Amino acid sequence: MTFLSATLARVKPSPTVAVTGKAADLRAAGRPIISLGAGEPDFDTPEHIQNAAIAAMKAGHTRYTPVDGIPQLKQAICDKFDRDNGLTYRPEQVSVSSGGKQVLYNALMATLNPGDEVIIPAPYWVSYPDMVRLAGGEPVILPAPAEDGFRITAEALEAAITPRTKWLIFNSPSNPTGAGYDRDHLKALTDVLMRHPQVWVMSDDMYEHLVYDGFEFATPAQVEPGLYDRTLTVNGVSKAYCMTGWRIGYAAGPVELITAMRKIQSQSTSNPCSISQWAAVAALNGPHDFIADNNIAFARRRDLVVARLNAIAGISCPVPQGAFYVYPSIAGLIGKTSPAGRRIDTDEDFAIALLEESDVAVVFGAAFGLAPHFRISYAASDEDLTAACDRIEAFCNSLT
């Protein structure tokens, strides 16, 4: 009999966090690792946001705050939803947590009973299914393959819904594919959801501002106001504002759900970091022009990586609409053998061999529920991306 809980046997550690840690360990041991594993901007947090944090400390904002966020931040979040998404929320409909991860976790813990089903399109962000399992629910995986643009269809969604379906977790632009759903794609899905009033929508909009080639972001409650009363709209400052380490995520939705999420947070972590909350106020209320500048760099890096990968025999890489990931297929490399004698039977074998033999860290596709692929985060310098692509190309060409 194990000392650990039975629930733990149903989940695995986060592979995105694991690859980041492994790359850091190898680098500390002297290996010239290029890590394209972690999904975080390489840009520093903008100066005006850093200064707001320093000012907050000096002003004594270093104590406990209300459990799910200071009023100033909740107001800034309401203003953001109004400004960016045409969604009207009151501060009591807003919850702030230590990153988007805790928002999602609180919402699932607050709502799932044993046997409740949560529909998750695959490829999915690694933590969705395991969070559902931790909360006692059952993930129902809905494949969204590359030939469908990594998007689920209305028919597939309709077919996946059962009387036990509680949530659809929706993520556009997607981690790990960068695929975006435009208004028409979204409307087709929200039309389905309107026919199934037991299904709520958890919309993870973390990559809202990271879109390219004129792609227009939309979120379910905006496209279908009829879903407003059963949608949790989730966002955060990590990606667009280059604030991953500050750990501020937030959501808006029905008061009953937000109150339940607060109850869970009050018995676990209490408030997110007070200083980070003030920094987030400055981020949301402050200038946004740097986001467009960053996006120019991200789009250039995306184009560089997609072109380089597609030039490699055995790899095929679609062009994503947003986020800072690409999700190439390595179907053409399966069955080959690396110079050190590793057989590439799976995308995990590929990622391990690439790291061990060519010093490039990526996340293998099976972790995101669609194989054989791998994910590259191109939120890295042009030099690192070019060097990484050189190494990936040489590695793939060395396979026999």
Which residues lie near ligand GLU (CB under 6 A)? 14, 16-17, 38-39, 101, 125-127, 175
- Minimum Å distance from CB 238 to ligand GLU? 8
* Of 377, 380, 361, 383, residue with least CA distance to 328: 377
Longest CA–CA span in the chain (Å) reads 63
Amino acid type, 254: P
Cα torsion 266, 127, 180, 215 to 10°: value is 60
- In the complex with ligand GLU, the residue whose CB is nearer, 39 or 139, is 39
- Minimum Å distance from CB 109 to ligand GLU? 17
- In the complex with ligand GLU, the residue whose CB is nearer, 55 or 141, is 141
Name the residue number minimizing CB distance to ligand GLU.
39
DSSP structure class, residue 230:
G
Residue entry with tokens 């970091």:
273
Where are any strands of DSSP class E within 75-164? 94-97, 117-122, 138-143
Within a 10 A sphere around the Cβ of 82, how many other Cβ atoms? Answer: 12
- Minimum Å distance from CB 257 to ligand GLU? 23
- Minimum Å distance from CB 239 to ligand GLU? 8
Distance CA 376, CA 392 (A): 11
Cis peptide before 121 (omega within 30 of 0): no
- In the complex with ligand GLU, the residue whose CB is nearer, 127 or 358, is 127
- In the complex with ligand GLU, the residue whose CB is nearer, 78 or 251, is 251
- In the complex with ligand GLU, the residue whose CB is nearer, 17 or 291, is 17
- Minimum Å distance from CB 37 to ligand GLU? 7
The string of DSSP codes covering 342-396 is -B--SHHHHHHHHHHHH-EE-EEGGGGT--SBEEEE--S-HHHHHHHHHHHHHHH
Distance CA 55, CA 208 (A): 28
- In the complex with ligand GLU, the residue whose CB is nearer, 209 or 230, is 209
Distance CA 328, CA 193 (A): 31
- Minimum Å distance from CB 16 to ligand GLU? 4
- In the complex with ligand GLU, the residue whose CB is nearer, 38 or 371, is 38
- Minimum Å distance from CB 127 to ligand GLU? 6
